Structure 1
Amino acid sequence: MPKRFIKRYMPRPEKIKAMKSLHFLGDLLHEPNLWHINRHAVCRAFLIGIFFCFIPMPFQMVAAGFFAIWFNANLPISVALVWISNPITMPPIFYFNYKVGAYLLGHPVLDFEFHLSWHWLSQRLVEIGVPLYFGSVVVAVLAACISYLVMQYLWRRKVRSDWRRRRGLRTDEED
């Protein structure tokens, strides 16, 4: 994985540590591994960020940030990946999760129109909510594990190609 590419778009740790709204975290933000770009921190960040982007819950970024701190993953990448599920992509992602959950639970996929009312929510919450959350957890675990493995592979492939390139440069210099 190109380290320079990631560093170019990441906020500086000093800038985030200076934010007054984050002072309640105290010394947690001073942990260096939360900001380092290495294979382990970035791969764990992908695992956490991708997992929470598929879970329908409020404050996904807060949960991703908490788990990034807990598992010593790269904090900015974990939080940024949650935005894969944004207001534009949420309906297709969560509908797919619902269909996966309904299929795995053996429930028929219901045709429904969303109505923002207490009556609709109280009647449909269990019928739709259980397959939605079950499917979301299944899809989130699968997508997170796949993203973790893909990032591990890409990072190692990049390191191997850099080693080969350097070895080729050394042999050219010796000739």
Structure 2
Amino acid sequence: MLRRFLPTQDSIKGNRLLRWLGPRLHEPGLWHLNRRAVARGVAIGVFFGFMIPVAQIPAAAIGAFLARANLWVSAIATLVSNPFTYAPIYYAAYRLGGFLLGAPEAAAAADLDPALAHAVTPSLEHAASGIGAWLSEIWIRLSAYGKPLFLGLGIMAVSLSVLAYFGTLLAWRASVVIKRRRPRHLRARA
């Protein structure tokens, strides 16, 4: 079913924008749907989907190109993070990183430091007072939330990409076993 949406090898070879990649672009693992290439593509896509908030698809495509994973699958797997899932992912990553670092909650940190409390809720007056003051407020906010968030995102990206890799291999194997257990006359129809 997925094969009809993928480009043909001839259309890829004929694309003048991709010629600079040379013969490496025509390796079978990058375009064919086989067990290992798809599993690598899912893992790479999930990793970059969690790790970076922008340019996920190009980063996953470069990673898939270097790891000889399926390019299309890696690009699609980055959609694990999208506008609907950003908030829960970032909240969970912040909580995980805060737990591991032993960082206080944002509200507790804001109560301890008045400068940080002001930065957590920047006002329009302070933003209008000067771009330098506004940038320093943003920097204080990022330094308060950044370390736990980036630690949590890194741990989630690595662990979920490993889980996605082995989960894909397991699902692929299960589908092959189920297909082989069906009688021959039913397999011929499918």
Range into which the TM-score falls when normalised by the shorter chain: 0.7 to 0.9
My pick for the range that moved more, 82-91 or 145-154, is 82-91
Q: Root-mean-square deviation (CA), in Å?
A: 2.4
Q: Distance in 1 between matches of 2:122 and 2:160?
A: 27
Q: CA deviation at 1:44?
A: 0.6
CA deviation map 1:53-97 (0-9, x unaligned): 111343222221111011110001101211221233222212221
SS in 2 for 1:107: coil
Aligned partners of 1:160, 1:10: CA distance in 2, in Å? 26
Determine the C-alpha separation between the residues in 1 that align with 2:122 and 2:84: 16
- Counterpart in the other structure of 1:119: 136
Task: Name the counterpart of 2:91.
Answer: 95
CA contact (8 A) 1:65 1:78 kept: yes
Mind listing any 5+ residue stretches in structure 1 that lack a counterpart? 171-175
**Normalised TM-score (structure 1):** 0.81
1:60 matched to 2:56? The reply is yes
The secondary structure found in structure 2 opposite 1:54 is helix
Structure 1's 16 and 128: CA in aligned 2 closer, same or farther, altered over 3 A?
A: farther
Query: In the alignment, what sits opposite 2:70?
Result: 74
- Deviation track 1:9-32 (CA, whole Å, cap 9, x = no partner) reads 434444455444444433332222
Could you say which residue in structure 2 is the equivalent of 1:169?
A: 184
Deviations 1:138-170 (A, max 9, x none): 1111211111111111111111122222xx338
Name the larger-Rg structure: 2
**Residue 149 (structure 1) aligned to one of 166, 171, 176:** 166
TM-score by length of 2: 0.75
Deviations 1:100-132 (A, max 9, x none): 111111112314458894223211222211111
Give, in whole Å, the separation in 2 of the partners of 1:114 and 1:143.
34
The 2-side partners of 1:164 and 1:72 are apart by 31
